[in-house]
Structure 1
């Protein structure tokens, strides 16, 4: 594949379905198996959700940028918002006893378990989720 696929989504929570269609198109195009598909669908939609809600603060004037890059060995999705970013090294552990009952804080934990690599950049405004194929 020569160039990555790119998509720009306005920050409306219902637009997560656009990201789901993007992932379905990628599966059709690159033929990845069902196990990896499930992990990608959950991790990427969770990340898009976070970008809309936490990154762009549900501001429909701001966009979420989704990029797909595929090599022979891996599929990478980069999700970037237009917010202020955050300190991704200071995230509380959602499995710690004091955080078990909190409603939020599990998304990134989940992404780290579903993707083979998770890398933050741009002061936390961008995340790259890599899946080995």
Structure 2
């Protein structure tokens, strides 16, 4: 399985580097537009979460983004240097008391856009898989 990795300091403006990385991935592996759209949203959301919640915008902490590719799937790994979080007890963004909240939909959205989502290392590592067929 081939993999490509980048590391970015935890600054919001570095999302454009992530977008370029995803564009390059689309071209390299000739991903179709449907999967590309899902990847773009899910990965930028994951990296934003890593920058904001994981690394608390600390530019001395990095977010590592890796893509693995084989015939069946493309899998992205997003890793931060934060303290982790309790991914099993997140508030439900569809609950009436949360519907108007400006935040709290990221993980919910990510889970719906990916074919598989796995949390590792106490939530510091997120593995997002997209099936190619």
State whether TM-score is above 0.5: yes
Q: Which residue of 1 aligns with 2:28?
A: 29
Q: Which residue of 1 aligns with 2:73?
A: 74
Q: Output the TM-score relative to the length of structure 2.
A: 0.98
Please state whether the residue corresponding to 1:97 is helix, strand or coil.
coil
Q: Which runs of 5+ in 1 are unaligned?
A: none
* Pairs within 5 Å for 1:15-54: 15-54=14-53
Distance 1:76 1:109 in 2: 18
Q: Which residue of 2 aligns with 1:121?
A: 120
Please state whether the residue corresponding to 1:4 is helix, strand or coil.
strand
Please state whether the residue corresponding to 1:99 is helix, strand or coil.
coil
- C-alpha contact (below 8 Å) 2:19/2:40 kept by paired residues: yes
Q: Which residue of 1 aligns with 2:83?
A: 84
Distance 2:19 2:64 in 1: 14
Alignment deviations for residues 56-96 of structure 1 (CA, whole Å, 9 cap, x no partner): 00000000000000010100000000000000001010000
Deviation, structure 1 residue 102: 1.0
- C-alpha contact (below 8 Å) 2:2/2:70 kept by paired residues: no
Deviation, structure 1 residue 3: 3.5
Distance 1:4 1:36 in 2: 18
Q: Output the TM-score relative to the length of structure 1.
A: 0.98
- What is the aligned-residue RMSD (CA, Å)? 0.7
Please state whether the residue corresponding to 2:34 is helix, strand or coil.
helix
Please state whether the residue corresponding to 1:89 is helix, strand or coil.
coil
- C-alpha contact (below 8 Å) 2:86/2:123 kept by paired residues: yes
Structure 1 segments, 4+ long, off by >2 Å, are none
Distance 1:41 1:70 in 2: 16
Alignment deviations for residues 12-43 of structure 1 (CA, whole Å, 9 cap, x no partner): 00001101000000011000100000000000
Judging by fraction of residues, say which structure has more helix.
1
